[in-house]
Structures are given as C-alpha cells and as structure tokens.
Amino acid sequence: MSKVWFITGCSSGLGAALADAALRAGHRVVVTARELTALNRFSNHPDCLRLAYDVAGGDARAALADAVKWAGKVDVLVNNAGYALLGALEDTSDEEAARCMEVNFFGAIRLMRAAAPHFREQNGGMVVNVSAAAAIANYPGFSIYGAAKAALEAASESYRLEMAPWGVKVMLVQPGPFRTAFISKSLKRTASTNQSYDSNVGKFSTMLTRMDGKQVGDPSKAAEVIVRLATGDRVPLRLVLGTYAKKKTRDTLAARLRELEEQDGSVASTEFTP
C-alpha cells in the first residue's frame, strides 16, 4: 500500500537516497531542505512535494500541515537532517553545543510533537529517526554530537511507548560509515582547538578525513532496507546498518555486560535489608 513520507535533509546523502527509494517503491514523498533549490532533482516527479524547511527553528506544525494538504496524510516521518560537531568538550562553546543540539535533537523533537495529533487521528504512523554510531559508543571529539543522538534515542524510546496505543511505531537507524558527503559537508569543527587533545581528538579527526569518499557503506542499499522495514509488519526499534556498526554494537554490549557482572556484589548491597 502506498504511504506518504515526510523526510528532512533531502538535499544529498541518506535523505536523498531514502526519497529515491520510497519513490521507486511507489510511495509519495515530501522532501525538505533549508533551500528549495537544493531539491531541484525532485522537481519533476509527480509523486513528490518539495518544501523549504529548516529543522533549526522551523514551524514544524505548518510544514506537516502543508504535507497533509498535498497528500491528505503523513504515514512516515523521517528525521534525517543533521550535522556533526567535532572538537574536545573543553573546546566546545555554549553556542556551538546549543546549535548542535538544536539541529540534531530539538529539530526532530518538534516534528515528532507536531506529528503526534495527526498520528492519533489516523490511528497509526511511523517515525524513523536517524541516529549515529556515536550513540552506540562515543568517540573523542564527538561529545556533543553523540550526546544529541543519544538524547534522540532516549526520547524515541519514550515516544514509542506513549504512542503505542494508536499503533505508532518508531525505528532508530544506527548507520556505520556510508559513502555520502557527510564528512565533507556536514562535519563542523569547533572554533577553538587545544593541541593537548591531538593524541585522541586529532587522531579521530585525521581518521575521518582519510575515510571520506572511501566508506564501505552504500547509501542506496541502506535506503532500500529502511523503506522495506519501515513499511513492513515487523519494525525493529534499532536498525543497525553495516558490518562496522554491527561489530561496534556487539563489542559495546559485551563490554557493558562484563562491567555489570563485575559489579554484581556492589549493586546488590545497595538495597534495603528486609
């Protein structure tokens, strides 16, 4: 059955790949970006509506209302727009941290809030929130970016439970490295740089630069998987994409379990004695 998708950050990368995959699957798609001209590739598609929408402070209710006016409903909301902030926590200003949280966390939250009444009215819906490997386990230099994605995951878990009575589903996408322009175009660095962190933050920055354009992940294949699962009957809460993210998840969970088992005696000793 044809669905109506609302996708943020469709100018390039995974957002554009998702829009393409949804259109190929016969769905109608509302594509958004800060500038309408960035969506010109979709201008001649009859099943596509282009909207200029800035996740950082845009009117979420108005944007969704425009989508509903065009298609009559919104079935799938995809929060994909975002950017990474690279820099040591000590070097990150309040303004840089706030901007990163605004785009990667609050922008998605506003759309989820705006979609809630619509989903309740139609008794169903789907939210796909694009997270990051940094939310599985974080890296030096990604303190605020990873925090924003981790916050989005926690909010998504709660939203999923709150909206379950109306059949609303939530899927968190945790991608590994995919060959998009994310590193070259959507990776910002803090204005201040402390050389004390060259051995960890600097090393991580160099690794990202060398990786750019050589990532093993194919965004088109990722988009096909997301579209298939988001419109299927069995929707995972967390969709781990790629061998890197899968290994990172396994290693992180194993390390946490080992740590928990090492603390067994201490954990039990904190409870009241009957």
Q: Which of 53, 145, 159, 197 is catalytic?
A: 145
149 is catalytic: yes
pLDDT tens by residue, 182-208: 888 899 999 999 999 999 999 999 999
Q: Which of 149, 156, 205, 248 is catalytic?
A: 149
pLDDT tens by residue, 99-146: 999 999 999 999 999 999 999 999 999 999 999 999 999 999 999 999
What pLDDT score was predicted for residue 248? 98
pLDDT tens by residue, 140-191: 999 999 999 999 999 999 999 999 999 999 999 999 999 998 888 899 999 9
Write a three-state SS string for the chain. CCCEEEECCCCCHHHHHHHHHHHHCCCEEEEEECCHHHHHHHCCCCCEEEEECCCCCCCHHHHHHHHHHHHCCCCEEEECCCCEEECCHHHCCHHHHHHHHHHHHHHHHHHHHHHHHHHHHHCCEEEEEECCHHHCCCCCCCHHHHHHHHHHHHHHHHHHHHHHHHCEEEEEEEECCECCCHHHHCEEECCCCCHHHHHHHHHHHHHHHHHCCCCCECHHHHHHHHHHHHCCCCCCCEEEECHHHHHHHHHHHHHHHHHHHHCHHHHHCCCCCC
pLDDT tens by residue, 236-254: 999 999 999 999 999 999 9
131 is catalytic: yes
